[in-house]
A and B are shown apart, each in its own frame.
Chain A
Amino acid sequence: MATSVAQALRPRALRDLGLLLPVAALVLGPVGFLAWMGLGGGIGDLLARLNELGVLATVGRVFLLACTTTLLAAMMGVPLAWLTVRSDLPGRRFIRWLVPLPLAIPPYIGAIVYQILFAPAGPLNTLLARLLGLPRETPIVTIYGLPGAAWVLSLFIFPYIFLLVAGGLERMSLSLEEVARASGISRWAVFFQVTLPMLRPALLGGGLMVFLYAWADFGVVSLLRVRTLTTIVFDYVQGTMDWTIPASLSVFLTLITTAVLAIQLRILGGGTYAQVTSASRPARPVPVGRWRIPAMLFGFLVLLCALGVPLGVLAYQASRLSLPAAWSFLSQQSSFIWNSVWTAAFGATIAIALALVIGWFQARRRIGRGVSIMFQIGYAIPGTVLGLGMVGFFHVAFPWLYGSPIVLVLGYLVLFVTPAFQGAGAALAQISASLEDAARGLGRGPLGTFREVTFPLVRPGLVGSWVLVFILCMRELAATLILRPPGFDTLPVRIWIHTMDVGPVPTAALLALVLVTIVALPWLGLILMGRRGIPVGW
Chain B
Amino acid sequence: MQRMHIREHHRWKWASVGAVLLIALLGSVWLLPAPAAAGELVVYSGRKEELIRPAIQAAEKALNVKITLFTAGAGELARRIELEKASPRGDVFIGTTAGFAELMREKGLLDTFTSPLLKEIPAEFRAPDNTWVPITARVRVLMTNSNLVRPQEAPRSYFELTDPRWKGKIAIASMGERTTVGWLAAILAVKGEEFTKKYVAGLRANGLKVLKNNTEVRKAVAGGEYAVGITNHYYYLLQLQGDPKSPLGLVYPDQGPADMGTPVFSITAALIKGAKNAETGRSFLEFLLTPEGNRHLVEGEFEIPLIPGLHLPGADKGIKGLGQFKRPSLTQAQIADLEPKVERFFGSALTP
Contacts and interface: CB of A to CB of B under 8 A. Distances in A.
Contact of B348 (A52, A405, A502): A52
B158 interface: no
Interface stretch (A22-30, A147-155, A191-199, A229-237): A229-237
A237 B68 contact: no
B31 A404 contact: yes
B76 A482 contact: yes
Contacts of A49: 347-348
A346 B27 CA distance: 7
A243 B75 CA distance: 11
Interface string A47-85: 001001110000000000000000000000000000000
Contacts of B51: 501
Contact of A239 (B13, B50, B178): B178
Interface in B115-164: 145, 147-148
Interface string B76-118: 1011101110110110000000001001000000000000000
A238 B175 CA distance: 9
Given A231-B352, A502-B50, A120 B24 contact: no
**Per DSSP, are chain A's interface residues mostly helix, strand or loop, or mixed?**
helix
Contacts of A349: 20, 23-24
A270 interface: no
B75 A240 contact: yes
A395 B83 contact: yes
A41 interface: no
Contact of A139 (B174, B223, B348): B223
A486 B347 contact: no
B83 A391 contact: yes
Interface in B20-72: 20, 23-24, 26-27, 30-31, 33, 42, 44, 48-51, 68-72
Interface in B193-221: 211-213, 215-216, 219-220
A245 interface: yes
Interface stretch (A5-13, A276-284, A451-459, A519-527): A451-459
Nearest to B243: A121
Contact of A503 (B71, B82, B84, B219): B219
B16 interface: yes
B303 interface: no
B12 interface: yes
Nearest to B67: A487
Interface string A221-258: 01001010001101111111111010000000000000
B283 interface: no
Interface size class, chain A: 35 or more
B177 interface: yes
A387 to B, nearest CB: 10
B23 A455 contact: no
A345 B25 CA distance: 12
A325 interface: no
Contacts of B147: 137
Interface size class, chain B: 35 or more
A124 interface: no
Nearest to B238: A502
A451 B13 CA distance: 8
A239 B30 contact: no
B181 interface: yes
Contacts of B23: 342, 345-346, 349
B42 A487 contact: yes
Contact of A240 (B68, B215, B347): B347
Contact of B347 (A53, A137, A225): A53
A345 B26 CA distance: 10
B89 A486 contact: yes
Nearest to A396: B83
B347 A245 contact: yes
Contacts of A52: 347-348
Nearest to A498: B50
A399 B176 contact: no
B84 A395 contact: yes
A235 B84 contact: no
A320 B30 CA distance: 35
Contact of B75 (A137, A222, A241, A406): A241
Given A52-B348, A120-B225, A137-B224, A405 B30 contact: yes
Contacts of B224: 120-121, 136-139
A21 interface: no
Interface string A390-421: 01100100010011111001000000000000
B150 to A, nearest CB: 12
Interface in B211-247: 211-213, 215-216, 219-220, 222-225, 238, 242
A342 B30 contact: yes
A395 B87 CA distance: 10
B188 to A, nearest CB: 16
A240 B175 contact: yes
A503 B48 CA distance: 12
B9 interface: yes
Contact of A222 (B24, B49, B148, B212): B212
Interface string B228-268: 00000000001000100000000000000000000000000
Given A121-B224, A237-B76, A486-B90, A342 B26 contact: yes
* 9 residue pairs, one from A and one from B, having the closest CB atoms: A120-B223, A238-B73, A486-B70, A487-B68, A239-B176, A346-B27, A137-B147, A238-B176, A239-B175
Given A346-B24, A392-B83, 10 more contacts: A54-B348, A137-B145, A231-B351, A235-B351, A238-B72, A243-B79, A349-B20, A403-B84, A459-B13, A463-B16
14 contacts: A120-B222, A121-B222, A231-B351, A234-B176, A239-B75, A240-B75, A241-B82, A243-B79, A342-B23, A399-B86, A451-B13, A459-B13, A501-B51, A502-B242
Interface of B: 9, 12-13, 16, 20, 23-24, 26-27, 30-31, 33, 42, 44, 48-51, 68-76, 78-80, 82-84, 86-87, 89-90, 100, 103, 145, 147-148, 174-178, 181, 211-213, 215-216, 219-220, 222-225, 238, 242, 343, 347-348, 351-352
